[in-house]
Amino acid sequence: MKAAIVATGSELISGLVQDSNSKFLAKNLNDLGFQLENIFICGDEKDNIKNTILKAAENSDLVFITGGLGPTKDDQTKEAFAEAMDLELIYSKEIENKLKNIFCNHQSNMTSNNLSQAYFPAGAEIIDNNRGTAPALKVETKNKRFYLLPGVPSELKYLFKKKIELELLNMTKNKILVKEFNFIGIGESTLAAKIEELNFHSALEISYQAGRAEVKLRLKIDDSKISDQKQKNELINKAAAKIKNQFENLIYGEGQEDILDKVHSLLISKKLSIATAESFTGGLIAERLTEKGGSSQYFLGSIVAYQQKIKEDLLNIGSDFFKNHSVVSEECVTKMAENAAEIFNSDLVVATTGAAGPSAHNGKTAGTMYLALNYKGEINCFKFSKNYGRKMNRFYASQIALFEIYKMIKESGENNA
């Protein structure tokens, strides 16, 4: 079934705002099995919106139209749509009441402007918008289905996920099978090459999405190649099991899971405390470990020892140490992790030292990075030589740090997580 998207708004056409709504809808429509043909973006003028809707409807059975549903004179989507589809705009008392209810729930006053929102293309079905004042609409006409959604991304996403997705699933009659795995510590192309070697069935669509220092692998069944639901289930479950088994050490979670969420929950459930001693990451790991509300349950503090002298003075390493060891070395990062655990009296310490780039540091090329994890006295060291540029080098190290914290706690034998 073919679908199209029309995004309206002068802020989109002037290039001031990125149209993220269409990307969201496109991804979700594809996942649901629709064939998205086009995305059309236009400004606020009624005639342009009307013509764009006509172009979009030409080849599609399902059209999403976003933006321009508010109560001000800029908001002309309903009028444009009604003209394009030869529908009357009618005033609906029922909808007025729904609107009044919405305003009442929002505890805000309704102005006469807002009453313009009670005009609807004939035959439209109102979709209550619990997140804003502009109601969304569903209209079936000319053998096509149209959804008119507000342009505010949070409202649009909410309405799509809570009120529309399910009925679209019924529309396609597909039961979409998708599995997603999240990887840290392996690049997209390396992962793709290794997956290639596993010679999966040709009905298995495998795609990759590179995130920030992580990769999402996505398994999906190509419906044109297999139709039997049981076969589909088997195929995807077998493949998922194989991937999980093969890449156990590189997968931290599935789907929408986030490594920071996982570490956060684990530290809280295990009642562990953590501190960091950072050099080239400059406080980034501390910053990430305190990103979520409730982090004071585990995070104690950090010493960012950017200069050698600060390592000597605040991390008690002593200047003699550096006569024999580089600041960019396994010995140094180990010492940092050791001493910080004493200073903070924490269950866990993460320490880092390295050459963030762009230039070499202490004789070590940019991207030479050391990480140490001290878990109740047991210290593990990691060395990487990557160079994605200064900013990404630092972020990469913080990702690995979070992943290694996660693995270390998981493997520590306690089993209540």
Residue linked to tokens 């997209």: 188
* Residue 38, H or E segment: strand 35-42
**Token pair for 279:** 């050099």
* Residue 138, H or E segment: strand 136-141
Measured from the CB atom, the residue of 268 and 314 that comes closer to a second copy is: 314
Compute the distance between CA of residue 289 and CA of residue 273 in angstroms, rounded to an integer: 11
First to last CA, the chain: 43
Measured from the CB atom, the residue of 113 and 345 that comes closer to a second copy is: 345
Helix locations, 59-164, DSSP H: 77-84, 93-105, 112-115, 153-159
Report in angstroms how near the CB of residue 388 gets to a second copy at its nearest: 14
Report in angstroms how near the CB of residue 301 gets to a second copy at its nearest: 4
Measured from the CB atom, the residue of 143 and 359 that comes closer to a second copy is: 359
Report in angstroms how near the CB of residue 411 gets to a second copy at its nearest: 26
Measured from the CB atom, the residue of 42 and 401 that comes closer to a second copy is: 42
Report in angstroms how near the CB of residue 386 gets to a second copy at its nearest: 16
- Let me know: does 195 contact 201? Beta carbons within 8 Å: no
Compute the distance between CA of residue 84 and CA of residue 6 in angstroms, rounded to an integer: 13
- Let me know: does 39 contact 26? Beta carbons within 8 Å: yes
Measured from the CB atom, the residue of 334 and 352 that comes closer to a second copy is: 352
3-class secondary-structure state, position 268: helix
Measured from the CB atom, the residue of 239 and 275 that comes closer to a second copy is: 275
Compute the distance between CA of residue 41 and CA of residue 64 in angstroms, rounded to an integer: 12
Establish whether the linkage from the previous residue to 358 is cis, with ω within 30° of 0.
yes
Compute the distance between CA of residue 385 and CA of residue 81 in angstroms, rounded to an integer: 57
> Residue numbers of the site for a second copy (CB under 8 A)?
12-20, 22-30, 36-43, 48, 52, 55, 207, 209, 276, 278, 281-287, 289-293, 295-296, 299-307, 309-310, 314, 343-344, 356-359, 390-391
Report in angstroms how near the CB of residue 384 gets to a second copy at its nearest: 19
Report in angstroms how near the CB of residue 62 gets to a second copy at its nearest: 14
Report in angstroms how near the CB of residue 93 gets to a second copy at its nearest: 35
Compute the distance between CA of residue 51 and CA of residue 17 in angstroms, rounded to an integer: 22
Compute the distance between CA of residue 140 and CA of residue 96 in angstroms, rounded to an integer: 21
**Token pair for 361:** 């540091």
**Token pair for 228:** 């039997």
Measured from the CB atom, the residue of 59 and 130 that comes closer to a second copy is: 59
Report in angstroms how near the CB of residue 415 gets to a second copy at its nearest: 28
Compute the distance between CA of residue 236 and CA of residue 203 in angstroms, rounded to an integer: 10
Report in angstroms how near the CB of residue 78 gets to a second copy at its nearest: 20
Measured from the CB atom, the residue of 210 and 241 that comes closer to a second copy is: 210
Measured from the CB atom, the residue of 238 and 391 that comes closer to a second copy is: 391
